[in-house]
Amino acid sequence: MDWGRKMDSIVKLENQHPFQMLQTKLAKLIAETPSGERLPAEPELARILGVSRATLREGMRTFEGQGLIRRRQGVGTFVVPQSKVIEAGLEVLESIERLANRIGLKATMGALQIKDMVAGVEESEKLQVDEGTPLVRVSRVIYTDGRPVAYLTDMLPPNILTEDELSVGFNGSVLELLLKRGNIGLAKSFTDIQAVAASAEIAKKLEIQRGDVLLMFVARLYSDAGEIVDFSYSYFLPGYFRFHVIRSVGNSNFS
């Protein structure tokens, strides 16, 4: 493909801020590139657009977050077909598998790692257990349409779930497994939501660039007895998830 000619066809908008102009050019380039085709290498694309590679990476993060491109370390940047977005309200806790099935997506699990550990100072505080308490740590990647879209890590006391239970028939959702067993009444989840930069480890698992923005949920799952039965970190690719919350209007009477 003649990338120079393609870029020449993009109209320069003089009234735009330089970064907005870059976004406009990238959006048009991505829209005109067939799904599955690789974009020019970063040095070439930066030269064509007249920006530094650092600025180009910043501009491309927006489109990766929207699920329009996929950057793979050492391979290149590819235009991807539009994917269905998993949308959910935050009022009810549900597994990715259940949310995906609702819109006709198949969620699968990969890179499962199960590790026995003992609670240190940090883990004892998070799970409200004594230091030295045996724990089970389970990490995995969740895929939809063959694309890694989430990385999940849970820490649980072994009296909640054992390594054997997680090794056989586990589909990626600790929540679904606990609900299926039904021996522990689950009451609520307290979740903190942040936007974070992907670490090198997580970026590799999600096939993105280090520093790309992810949505991180840090959650404590409580039993109906008020005990923490699961502490988890969940990292989501923003372009493949849309979360919302329904809030009632507060009292506007200031008298």
Nearest by Cα to 223 from 174, 192, 178, 255: 178
Nearest by Cα to 110 from 68, 53, 170: 170
Of 79, 101, 132, the domain-final residue: 79
- State whether the Cα torsion 114-216-184-227 is positive or negative: positive
pLDDT at position 10 over 50: no
**Does one domain contain both 108 and 198?**
yes
**Does one domain contain both 112 and 72?**
no
pLDDT at position 197: 85
Question: Is residue 255 situated within a structural domain?
Answer: no
**Residue 16 pLDDT level (bands cut at 50, 70, 90):** low
Of 17, 50, 79, the domain-final residue: 79
What letter represents residue 172's amino acid?
A: G
- Top pLDDT among 24 and 106 is at 106
Collapse the DSSP code of 127 into the 3-class scheme (helix H, G, I; strand E, B; otherwise coil) and give the result.
Answer: helix
Question: Is residue 62 situated within a structural domain?
Answer: yes
Among 46-50, 129-133, 139-143, the range of highest mean pLDDT: 139-143
Structure tokens at 183: 């021996």
pLDDT at position 147: 83
Per residue in 146-168, pLDDT (tens digit) is 888 999 999 998 788 877 778 77
Q: How many domains does the chain have?
A: 2
In sequence order, what are the beta bridge partners of 113? Answer: 139
C-alpha to C-alpha distance for 186 and 161, rounded to whole angstroms: 14
- The CATH number of whichever domain residue 128 belongs to comes to 3.40.1410.10
Q: Please give the angle made by the CA atoms of 7, 9 and 13, to the nearest 5 degrees.
A: 90
Q: Which of 120-129, 135-144, 158-167 has the lowest mean pLDDT?
A: 158-167
pLDDT at position 206 over 60: yes
Of 59, 79, 99, the domain-final residue: 79
Nearest by Cα to 173 from 150, 202, 192, 157: 150
Kindly report the pTM of this predicted structure: 0.73
C-alpha to C-alpha distance for 231 and 219, rounded to whole angstroms: 6
pLDDT at position 252: 61
| Residue 176 contacts residue 98 (beta carbons within 8 Å) | yes
**Does one domain contain both 104 and 181?**
yes
**Does one domain contain both 63 and 159?**
no
pLDDT at position 66 over 80: no
Mean of pLDDT over the chain: 83
**Does one domain contain both 193 and 211?**
yes
**Residue 253 pLDDT level (bands cut at 50, 70, 90):** low
What is the residue range of 51's domain? 3-79
pLDDT at position 12 over 50: no
**Does one domain contain both 185 and 226?**
yes
- Top pLDDT among 224 and 171 is at 224
pLDDT at position 255: 53
